[in-house]
Structure formats: C-alpha cells, structure tokens
Amino acid sequence: MFDRLVQGKVPRKHHLVFKGEDGALLHEECFTREGFEGPYTILYHQHRPHAHRRVEVPHGWRAPTPAAERPLSRRHYLTGKAPKLSGAPVDVRMPLLFNADVVLSVVQPTAADPVYFANGDGDDLYFIHQGSGLVRSVLGDLRFGADDYLFIPRGLVHRLLPDPGVAQHWLSIECLGGLHLPKQWRNEVGQLRMDAPYCHRDFRRVELAAPRDEGIRELLVKRGHAFSGFRFEDAPLDVVGWDGTVYPWVFPILNFQPRAGLVHLPPTWHGTFATRGALICSFVPRMTDFHPEAIPCPYPHASPDCDEILYYVRGNFTSRRGVGAASISHHPAGILHGPHPGAYEASIGTTRTDELAVMLDTTLPLSTTAAATDLEDPGYHESFC
Ligand SMILES: [Fe+2]
C-alpha cells in the first residue's frame, strides 16, 4: 500500500511470544488486504482485539439508492447548498453519486464520532474542502486540515474528531475496490519514482500514541451499505506497537506536482490515486501550455468509456462558467462535453491557471441519489449552447 512504518514495540519476528511491560502476553492482529496476498500491517494489542459482542449501535448514514431514472444530461450539483445536518461523521455522510466501485458523498459534521467505526465496504478517501480535525485509530492519531486528502483503509477501527467550532465541508470518495497509488509511479522496489508527481516526503503518516481508554466500547461496522453494532470488552486503543504498510495518511493536494506541456495535456497527467473503476486526479495551480499558438483551455471531448466528475474547490475554471466552490459537475459517458461558449477563445495567450479541483473518471455509469437531485442546477446542460 505504502512505505513500511514501524511504531512502538514489535517482536523480532511475527508470531513469537511477546509480552508487555507488565509481563502479560500481547495479542497479534494481522490487518491484511486481498486476503493474505496483499499489503498488511501487524499490530500488538494488550487485549484480544476480536473480543466484542453484538449490540445495537444506533448510528450510521443512509445507504445510496438511485433517484428516479432520468434522461442523459450534463449535470451540476451545488453541494455548498447541502442541508447542514447536525451530527457526527458516522451519521451525516450524504451520498450523492455512486456505482459499484465508488460512492461520492458530502460530509458536514458538527460533532465527533461518539463510537468507533470500521468501514468493511471500502477505503475512505476524504478531500477536506473546509475544516480540520483528527482521525483517532488503533494505529494512532493523524491530524488533517483544509486542502488535505485523508486516507483511511478499509476495516480500520477509528473515530473522526472534527475540530469543534470549525465549519466542515468534506468530499468523501468511498473506494469499494480499494485505493492505491497508480502503479506507474513506483519503481521495482515499490519506492515512488523520481518522475512521480509526489514523493514519500509529501505524505503525513499516522503516529501511534500510548494505549488509552476513551471510555468508548461501541463499534459500528459497515458492510454491504448496512450497519452492525458491537461492543468491545476492553478499550480498543490498546496497541503497543505495529509495523506494516496499511495505515491512514494525509496527502495535501498542493503537494501534487503539476505538469505543463507544449500543448494541452490530458487529465491522465494529473492522476493522483487509482481505485477499481476510477482514476482520481488533482488539478492544482500551474503554468499552462507553452507553444506560442497553444489553446490552454481543454478541448470538447467524448469519453464513451467514462463518466467524468469534477469537484471544484477554488480558482478560475477556464473552461466552465456558473460553477463555483463545492460545485460538482457530472458529464456522463455517451454525450460530448467541453468548454462553455467563449472559454476556448479566451484562453489563448494565458500563461497560468489558478484552478484547484478534484476529478474522477469512472468506468461504470454513476447513479444519482435524491439528495443530489435536490441540489441540482437545472439549466446546466443548456448553458453550453
Ligand atoms: Fe472532460
């Protein structure tokens, strides 16, 4: 998944007798991916990590369900107008667009998660548009803030603690097939290549804290978009050490190194993260194309294999008008899309762009929830004429 970290104390080999300072045997947990074939992390707990009973834990958000079928159209959703539900991240996540690979939601929490949460469906990638806070997990704590991508691996026991009194607006990209860095950015030993658009130093990693008892025993687990509750016998934040490659990290979007070309480079050059059925791209402020006759504005294009999502953060979007911060545009496969009238011509001679946006290309068509249709700008499709 990522570079190997060692935190706290671990024994000299897997699965050997390993005792804590009080002489009690510690309990190993293998946190694996792709069965036992993929990346993994091994943790050492003071208590048996699987000792929990089933109980009711009355939390969770609404599963994504499609709104009534509609004709194909270019769509624009104003997520800044999403109703401000009061509550914790585990309760206020609002799915907007989804398929079998990804679920895009908006999250505007006003409180900390009151229970631990483990997402058994997929990895959670958040883009923190507004706000800040902390993820607290069995692997340790990690702070996040505006303009950060926050990654939380599938199945990790954690809580999200938004900073109190700070307005929060997060884009959640739930990756049901697991998230990874595009393979072309790694060399044969897994290190990020020197020509990758980021390096190991650009990522912030979780840091293990001493075992703690927060007084919380409830665990909410999501699997198949349904929630189940459990109660731990002991405090779950009891890890004295771990090593491995699966853990939460933060990548500030502005650490992405953009590229410019002689003429326009397609979005694949901005590829940041990959997941089953989707490429996640970052558009950050950059110089534009440097051919004296270059047209920096993107071309009209048909991507018959992809639905295209753009989440606008800030800056001037040379190709679009009427979109603003927290807008999502959805350009489905099957119909052409491109710049708004005049944008193509106006871009000639410009030397830089200050746009900041997150983009997804998905191979499966995206369905829309009723929550998204409530936020729709009805004139968007015709605004290109
Ligand atoms: Fe496009």
pLDDT 10s digits, 136-156? 999 999 999 999 999 999 999
Write the CB contacts of 213 (distance below 8 Å, at least 6 apart in sequence).
235, 237
Q: pLDDT value at position 301?
A: 87
**Is 90 exceeded by the pLDDT of residue 302?**
no
Expressed in angstroms and rounded, the spacing between residue 221 Cα and the centre of ligand 1 is: 36
Q: Are 105 and 135 contacting, i.e. CB atoms less than 8 angstroms apart?
A: no
Q: Residue 235 C-alpha to ligand 1 middle, in angstroms?
A: 48
Cα-based distances in Å from 332 to 105, 342, 367, 374: 18, 22, 10, 19
Amino acid 180 reads H
Q: Are 351 and 76 in contact (CB under 8 A)?
A: no
Is 348 strand, coil or helix? coil
Q: Which residues contact 201 (CB under 8 A, 6 or more apart)?
A: none
CA of 324 to the centre of ligand 1 (A): 17
CA of 330 to the centre of ligand 1 (A): 9
- Among the ranges given (30-34, 193-197, 339-343), the one the predictor scored with the smallest mean pLDDT: 339-343
Compute the distance from residue 308 Cα to the ligand 1 centre, in Å: 6
- Ligand 1 centroid vs 28 CA: distance in angstroms? 47
Query: What's the pTM value of the predicted model, to 2 decimals?
Result: 0.97
Residue 89 alpha carbon to ligand 1 centre in Å: 31
Per-residue model confidence as pLDDT tens digits over 40-73: 999 999 999 999 999 999 999 999 999 998 999 9
CB atoms within 10 A of CB 278: 26
Task: Kindly give the distance from the C-alpha atom of residue 197 to the centroid of ligand 1, in angstroms, as a whole number.
Answer: 21
